[in-house]
Amino acid sequence: MLREMGSSGVATSFSILSSLGDLRQDWDLDDISAWVQRYFDFLEDHGGYMLVWLQAARSDEQLRELGMRGSMRAARLASDAMRKLGAPTDEEPHVQGLALMALLDRFWYHWRITKAPLEASDVHQGLARMLAAMLRPAQAEPKRKTKPRAKPKAESAAKAAAAAAKKAAPVPPAKRTKRLEQMRSAIVAAADCNPVSGQSWQ
């Protein structure tokens, strides 16, 4: 009986996932939102069966195998549909499709089964934006800050050479002697100072 129920649900899921690719090429968020709502309507009818199958498959190897094959087929259909609407073609298709299915299926579970207090309009629009980002990732990337203009290599090299020469230049004897005297004075003053009162020990 579980397999008979599953055959109907699986066929319907294949049809709905494939229908994503039938949206117009210049789709907008309203188009995607309407499709998300249609997918959730499917889950309202068949989501309970899916949950029962998941539980049964944990102890039934044959059910697990059937479910895995169905999921991989559904993932490929979802990926093909996504690519028709502009999704990247350099991703592994099953990963692409399973990511979409996992997002929607698990969200529906938290929203409709565990009763997360969310408005339907917020759910459909929010998930539509996420799916749109998967379909057009280049447009979803944040604008990059403009990098400062690079200085000409010749100018940069000249400044670097000048700085290196200045750093490497020997300190004149007079300046070196003056620095040593300043360091000695500072050390003597610190040694003679009371750390509590701040006044001299003498």
pLDDT along the chain (202 residues), means of 10: 60 93 95 96 85 76 84 95 95 96 94 95 96 85 46 57 59 55 56 47 42
Nearest CA to 97 out of 5, 22, 14, 11 is that of 14
Cα–Cα distance, 105 to 47 (Å, whole number): 8
Cα–Cα distance, 102 to 94 (Å, whole number): 12
Residues near 120 by beta carbon (within 8 Å), at least 6 away in sequence: 37
CA distances from 137 to 131, 146, 176 (A): 10, 20, 62
Cα–Cα distance, 142 to 157 (Å, whole number): 34
Q: 193 - beta bridge partners?
A: 200
H or E element in which residue 3 lies: helix 2-19
Cα–Cα distance, 134 to 78 (Å, whole number): 12
Rg (CA), the chain: 34
What global pTM score does this model have?
Answer: 0.65
Supply the pLDDT for residue 143.
45
Supply the pLDDT for residue 112.
94
The length of the chain is 202
Token pair recorded at residue 85: 């609407």
Buried b (16+ CB within 10 A) or exposed e, 31-40: bbbebbbebb
Number of H helices, E strands in the chain: 8, 0
CA angle 107-110-116, nearest 5°? 115
